[in-house]
Amino acid sequence: MVESQFSNQRKPSIVIIDFGSQYSELIARRIRETEVYSIVVGYTITPQQLMELSPKGIILSGGPSSVYEDRAPMCDPGIWDLKIPVLGVCYGMQVMVQQLGGLVGAATGKAEYGKAPLEVDDPTALLTNVESGSTMWMSHGDSVQQLPDGFVRLAHTLNTQDAAIASHSRHLYGVQFHPEVVHSQYGMVMIRNFVYNICCCQPNWTTSTFIDEAINNVKEQVGNKRVLLALSGGVDSSTLAFLLKKAIGSQLTCMFIDQGFMRKGEPEFLMEFFDQKFNINVEYINARERFLSKLKGVVDPERKRKIIGEEFIRVFEEESLRLGPFDYLAQGTLYPDVIESSGTNIDPKTGERIAVKIKSHHNVGGLPKDLQFKLVEPLRTLFKDEVRKVGQALGLPDEIVKRHPFPGPGLAIRILGEVSSEKLNCLRDADFIVREEVAKAGLYHEIWQAFAVLLPVRSVGVMGDQRTYAWPIVIRCVSSEDGMTADWSRLPEGLLEKMSNRIVNEVQGVNRVVLDITSKPPGTIEWE
Ligand code: XMP
């Protein structure tokens, strides 16, 4: 794992040592918001490996374990002799305290979860400009019971004596709360204090420096060879196409496989935008009939995903042979995939590192590992929000950069049961109306996803003098931060009315519109 991250051209200014916290990635993102490059590594990293990275600061993340449990994850104690400033967060602070000779124990009856006012005792260094009494986000059962020699208290809360601590002379700091979460009022002030005042980092992680470096790296890697990119129209592959076009121009060939499951107008937009407007060579592969015939009679959602995924690979292989030879395949791998596949996650029970369960159903359209290509992955150091910024800076329009998430198998999984071209046409039109009306109401960017689902049941209705027997459409609109949890959007009645009227009047084969008012959990965002 460390291997692949070490091969990054740019060295990180801050290294986050991960003890399995759900917030480790968030810490990295927060640091990067201060224009300082940071990466997440597993806790087994050695002092030698750290020295090779030569960071200006180290952050020890939180984690689900207790330091006094058997097999609790610990960092190599050699880290304390590196003379690099360290900030321990929650469990990370407890590791620091224990390894340096202090004492950590269960805070009987005093576990602290949620918001707590922080009383500042020492407003210097880490807590410079952090207002006493401000809210910090706590989430811990254990706490420090005795500080190691040379440490002082910087702040306390009602239930936690040592909420922030320091050994000023050694530049070691610890906080029992989570400065990285939005509920911590002065969290970013504290992060900036650490990054700039304590570690003396320079603000050099910006979109434009990233683009310049990435272009140079790609040029160097690829030379005069040909690169193939599977373009989907999503923000990752689109940003990649723009970046590669800048780096290697006509050595890039994009392949757009039209499975027939995209939303209304999308294939046309894609070809017009990339191929014609921006002169990026895109090979349009019309595979609609092929995919549809493979799905004939298939109703099980997992089977549908599998068939679509396999067919995608088959088409890709055939077409890359036809258009090739290519030396390189460009992939829009992002940093969360790199962290996850590097296995820094930890089993809270055993303290062992565990491989993260691959979200297989989200990987449709992914390519097999044994293809005979070398990989170009210039986005592999970026988080999604950073990709959006890069895309925007490279000139991608909002339609792509800010578009709602869309599953790889597309409308095929938003038609429950068997997929047919009649149902696809019907759903495409209904989905268009939902999104158009949401946009007209100025709500598109406030909503995480707005779409339609087609249910394969018919019910009786009446239109004019005619009795109808047709499908219902479900309107699904949700708000969410990351797709992991979601709430249904409370849309204005007038907007719902307009959608409903338009759908039954304009879409053939639909006589009823219903609204999904389920949150996630217990529901999911998609229906499938
Ligand atoms: P669920 O339905 O599990 O979806 O609540 C969570 C988020 O993931 C999106 N999703 C996908 N994204 N490929 C993707 O890139 C997929 O196959 C896929 N399936 C679901 C879904 O739209 C929602 O935002």
Residue 359 in this model has a pLDDT that exceeds 70:
no
Distances (CA, A) of 17 to 93, 125, 162, 452: 12, 22, 22, 42
Q: Which fold has domain 14-198?
A: Rossmann fold (3.40.50)
Gap between the Cα atoms of 390 and 382, Å rounded: 9
Provide DSSP, 60-102.
Answer: E---SS-TTSTT-----GGGGGS---EEEETHHHHHHHHHTT-
Ligand 1 center to residue 475 CA distance, Å?
17
17, 58 in Cβ contact below 8 A? yes
Q: 22, 32, 31: which is closest to 61 by C-alpha?
A: 22
Dig out the tokens for 240 from the structure: 């990649």
Task: Give pLDDT tens digits for 25-55.
Answer: 999 999 999 999 999 999 999 999 999 999 9
525, 527, 528: residue to mutate for ligand 1 pocket, most atoms within 8 A of CB: 525
Gap between the Cα atoms of 99 and 87, Å rounded: 14
Catalytic residue numbers, as ranges: 90, 178, 180
Task: Give pLDDT tens digits for 258-286.
Answer: 999 999 999 999 999 998 999 999 999 99
State the number of CA atoms in the 13 A half-sphere of 418 facing the CB. Answer: 8
Q: For ligand 1, what atom is nearest to the CA of residue 305?
A: 17
The residue contributing the CA closest to ligand 1 atom 7 is: 483
Beta-carbon neighbour count of residue 459 at 10 Å?
Answer: 12
Give the contacts of 236 (CB within 8 A, at least 6 positions apart).
332, 334, 379, 384, 387
Ligand 1 center to residue 66 CA distance, Å?
34
Q: For ligand 1, what atom is nearest to the CA of residue 528?
A: 2
Give the contacts of 517 (CB within 8 A, at least 6 positions apart).
488
Instruction: Write the class of the CATH domain 207-401.
Output: alpha beta
Q: What is the pLDDT of residue 366?
A: 58
Quick one: pLDDT band at residue 197, thresholds 50, 70, 90? very high
Residue 3 in this model has a pLDDT that exceeds 60:
no
Instruction: Tell me where in the chain the CATH 3.40.50.880 domain(s) lie.
Output: 14-198
Instruction: Tell me where in the chain the CATH 3.30.300.10 domain(s) lie.
Output: 414-515
As a whole number, the mean pLDDT across the chain is: 91
Quick one: pLDDT band at residue 108, thresholds 50, 70, 90? low
Phi first, then psi: give them for residue 25, nearest 5 degrees: -65, -40
Question: Helix (H, G, I), strand (E, B), or coil: what is residue 372?
Answer: coil
Phi first, then psi: give them for residue 273, nearest 5 degrees: -70, -55
Phi first, then psi: give them for residue 40, nearest 5 degrees: -110, 130
Instruction: Tell me where in the chain the CATH 3.40.50.620 domain(s) lie.
Output: 207-401
Task: Give pLDDT tens digits for 414-469.
Answer: 999 999 999 999 999 999 999 999 999 999 999 999 999 999 999 999 988 899 99
Instruction: Write the class of the CATH domain 414-515.
Output: alpha beta
Quick one: pLDDT band at residue 367, thresholds 50, 70, 90? low
Share of the chain above pLDDT 70, in %: 92
Ligand 1 center to residue 359 CA distance, Å?
10
Q: What is the pLDDT of residue 141?
A: 84
Q: What is the pLDDT of residue 482?
A: 82
For residue 365 and ligand 1, the question of a CB distance below 6 A is answered with: no
For residue 405 and ligand 1, the question of a CB distance below 6 A is answered with: yes
Question: Helix (H, G, I), strand (E, B), or coil: what is residue 15?
Answer: strand
Residue 348 in this model has a pLDDT that exceeds 70:
no
Task: Give pLDDT tens digits for 205-239.
Answer: 999 999 999 999 999 999 999 999 999 999 999 99
Lowest mean pLDDT among 142-156, 162-176, 363-377: 363-377
Share of the chain above pLDDT 90, in %: 83
Give the contacts of 478 (CB within 8 A, at least 6 positions apart).
447, 448, 449, 486, 487, 488, 489, 519, 520, 525
